[in-house]
């Protein structure tokens, strides 16, 4: 084998620059004639177009490309790095560097789209001349003759109108781009910008969509097929017409062989190679849709919708995918059990928060996302009933005037409220006379809660809730202590999580960290807990709420370890709750109907929501060390 043949084979295998050396090798073999003539003609035409540039003074300044950042897809991952979802507008794109793209793909694209790319100065005179003649004969633009550089500026700066004036502007801008950027920079921008079909922009997302692999791993067969798509992505798509895609692939491989960039045997082998084509991925549904919705809501609030859809963010969530699926399965089974028991409840929602970090660990917004996309865990404000009472009693303890042993009278009372009088009643009727606050809360007596709320000030209770990042609207109405306002399951779980941490609070979040494509941190939610509740008052409340599970309305929530919680049941059984916690996890469970229809007599939080809570927590705490709440005696009681 001759030394020149050996050199050609080495150049052919080495990647992008070999593409340059291939063309230069052809020129050298013919005494430099091809290269010299092409560059001379290119210079002449370029000079003429620069002269025309005076007529195009209003063209965009291509120097803006120095800071150009194309829109990119945002990716969402679980806490262990498992992909959950991708967010994008029209353009599904992931930008990659040129050296992260297979040499096979680079050569294939240049072969079929612009084989003189590394020789011309933005335009290819031979192609332009051929196109001009054909367009003149037809009286309209029917053939482009565009180089990769011309295609790039057309995609970035110009309209799609097939007019002579646009083609001239395209050529002028291409020359300007070539004067400012290197060939490698231009090729990198092109391969990341071009449309590959099925909402895939840029080679990385195209490679992932068609072949489920990175662009750097594309072989010759796959590269030839992708290069062939550029001219008409949907028409040549293997998802739509596999035979047409193979025909176009053959054209690319033949062109590469004719150029001497691959051998005929390599082209034949690549064409015969089976293509493992997958399915379009641009509009794939989320792995965990309830989590994705919560993430998007938080991202939109912090960054704005457009930045989220186009900013190429990498979002690490607080969620373990396996843990979330366990929560979803628990809710699905629980709903089936409710229906078997004759409970007329269409929906169940669940939210779980880690008290140590206030990271959201699970969000289940309903029984089936496929049937209803409404995320009740974060969007539905429902009356919490008696599960609201702990906020009232904490406020009382924090004043220093009350303790779990303080006496309160469960007796008839009426308050003037608005235009009339409000007379609270206990669930089931009747009154019990004097009792301790501990007993009142364990038995979930209504009248004492209203009396204590009035005594400490309902505005003070609302202040506590705002401290706990509860954003739902609230008014200091007399019925507030009985949960006559709406709150979301996540708000309830997040607020109770601060009881579980004995007063230490961080803003609940479903996001750990957000970075850009270069790894720069845009948002870091590393917990920075603050002590926002009085430790003695919180420990006192925790002691009482443990009694709810040990011998009160929440005995069905007993999980065999220290736990605290509260049942909630609204009038006519429209909403039933159980919200409870251990030091490692706080969880809220809600049952109800979206149309607010009553579920039937006897449906209570203790009888129906508490068992769901128990089922979930028993699974969630497997392998977790049993931890205890600190006693109130460890802390100093606030002075009144």
Residues carrying an active site annotation: 113, 386
Nearest to 533 by CA among 491, 501, 561: 501
Rounded Cα distance, 407 and 437, in Å: 6
Rounded Cα distance, 541 and 543, in Å: 5
Query: Residue 589 CB: number of other CB atoms within 10 A?
Result: 36
Residues with Cβ within 8 Å of residue 365, at least 6 apart in sequence: 290, 293, 349, 374, 375, 376, 377, 378, 379
Q: Where are the alpha helices (DSSP H) in 1-147?
A: 3-13, 16-29, 33-52, 103-113, 125-138
CA 272 to chain centre: 40
Q: Which two tokens stand for residue 625?
A: 């060390």
Residues with Cβ within 8 Å of residue 155, at least 6 apart in sequence: 193, 194, 195
Instruction: Number of helices (H) and strands (E) in the chain: give both, helices first.
Output: 23, 16
Cβ pair 167, 47 in contact under 8 A: no
Pairing outcome for strands 74-77 and 314-317 = parallel
Cβ pair 489, 588 in contact under 8 A: yes
Cβ pair 514, 486 in contact under 8 A: no
DSSP bridge partners of 317 = 511
**Kind and range of the H or E element at 86?**
strand 83-87
- The 3-class SS string of 546-604 reads HHHHHHCCCHHHCCCCCCEEEEEECHHHCEEEEEEEECCEEEEEEEECCCCCCCCCCCC
DSSP bridge partners of 456 = none
Query: Residue 448 CB: number of other CB atoms within 10 A?
Result: 31
Q: What is the DSSP letter of 624?
A: P
Rounded Cα distance, 63 and 181, in Å: 9
C-alpha distance from residue 205 to each of 154, 198, 202, 561 (Å): 21, 10, 6, 49
Task: Say if residue 260 is exposed, middle or buried (CB neighbours under 10 Å; 0-12, 13-18, 19+).
Answer: middle
Rounded Cα distance, 397 and 86, in Å: 47
Q: What is the DSSP letter of 416?
A: E
Rounded Cα distance, 13 and 24, in Å: 16
């Amino acid at each position: 084998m001759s030394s020149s043949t050996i050199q050609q084979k080495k150049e052919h295998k080495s990647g992008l620059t070999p593409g340059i050396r291939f063309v230069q090798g052809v020129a050298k073999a013919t005494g430099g004639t091809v290269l010299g003539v092409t560059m001379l003609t290119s210079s002449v035409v370029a000079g003429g177009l620069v002269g025309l540039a005076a007529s195009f003074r209003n063209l965009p300044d291509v120097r803006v490309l120095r800071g150009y950042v194309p829109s990119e897809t945002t990716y969402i991952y679980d806490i262990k790095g498992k992909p959950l979802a991708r967010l994008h507008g029209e353009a599904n794109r992931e930008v990659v560097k040129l050296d992260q793209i297979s040499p096979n793909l680079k050569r294939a694209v240049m072969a079929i789209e612009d084989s003189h790319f590394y020789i011309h100065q933005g335009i290819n005179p031979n192609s332009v001349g051929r196109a001009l003649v054909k367009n003149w004969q037809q009286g309209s633009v029917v053939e482009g003759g565009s180089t990769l550089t011309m295609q790039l500026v057309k995609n970035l700066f110009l309209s799609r109108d097939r007019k002579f004036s646009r083609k001239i502007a395209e050529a002028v801008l291409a020359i300007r781009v070539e004067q400012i950027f290197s060939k490698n920079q231009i090729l990198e921008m092109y391969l990341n910008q071009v449309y590959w079909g099925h909402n895939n922009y840029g080679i990385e997302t195209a490679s992932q969509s068609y072949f489920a692999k990175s662009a750097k791993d594309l072989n010759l067969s796959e590269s030839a097929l992708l290069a062939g798509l550029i001219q008409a992505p949907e028409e040549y798509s293997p998802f739509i017409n596999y035979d047409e895609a193979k025909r176009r692939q053959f054209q690319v491989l033949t062109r590469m062989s004719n150029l001497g960039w691959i051998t005929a045997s390599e082209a034949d082998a690549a064409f015969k190679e089976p293509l493992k084509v997958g399915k379009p991925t641009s509009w794939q549904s989320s792995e965990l849709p309830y989590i994705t919705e919560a993430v998007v809501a938080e991202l939109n609030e912090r960054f704005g919708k457009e930045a989220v859809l186009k900013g190429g963010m990498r979002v690490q969530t607080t969620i373990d995918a396996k843990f979330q699926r366990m929560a979803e399965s628990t809710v699905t089974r629980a709903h089936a059990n409710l229906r078997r028991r004759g409970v007329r409840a269409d929906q169940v929602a669940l939210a779980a928060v880690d008290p140590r970090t206030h990271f959201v660990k699970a969000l289940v917004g309903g029984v089936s996302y496929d049937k209803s996309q409404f995320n009740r865990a974060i969007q539905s404000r429902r009356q919490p009933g008696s599960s609201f009472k702990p906020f009232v009693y904490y406020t009382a303890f924090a004043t220093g005037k009350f303790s779990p042993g303080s006496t309160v009278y469960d007796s008839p009372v009426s308050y003037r409220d608005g235009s009339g009088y409000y007379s609270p009643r206990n669930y089931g009727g009747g009154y019990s006379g004097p009792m301790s606050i501990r007993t009142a809360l364990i038995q979930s007596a209504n009248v004492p809660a209203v009396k204590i709320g009035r005594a400490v000030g309902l505005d003070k209770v609302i202040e506590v809730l705002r401290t706990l990042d509860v954003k739902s609207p609230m008014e200091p109405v007399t019925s507030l202590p009985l949960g006559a306002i709406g709150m979301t399951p996540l708000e309830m779980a997040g607020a109770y999580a601060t009881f579980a941490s004995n007063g230490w609070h961080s803003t609940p979040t479903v996001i750990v960290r957000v970075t850009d494509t270069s790894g720069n941190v845009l948002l870091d939610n590393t917990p920075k807990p603050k002590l926002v509740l009085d430790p003695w008052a919180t420990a006192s409340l925790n002691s009482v709420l443990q009694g709810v599970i040990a011998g009160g309305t929440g005995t069905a929530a007993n999980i065999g370890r220290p736990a605290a919680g509260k049942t909630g049941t609204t009038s006519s059984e429209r909403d039933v709750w159980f919200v409870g916690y251990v030091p490692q996890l706080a969880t809220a469970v809600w049952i109800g109907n979206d149309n607010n229809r009553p579920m039937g007599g006897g449906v209570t939080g203790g009888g129906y929501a508490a068992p769901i809570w128990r089922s979930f927590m028993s699974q969630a705490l497997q392998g977790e060390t049993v931890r205890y709440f600190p006693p109130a005696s460890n802390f100093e009681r606030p002075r009144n």
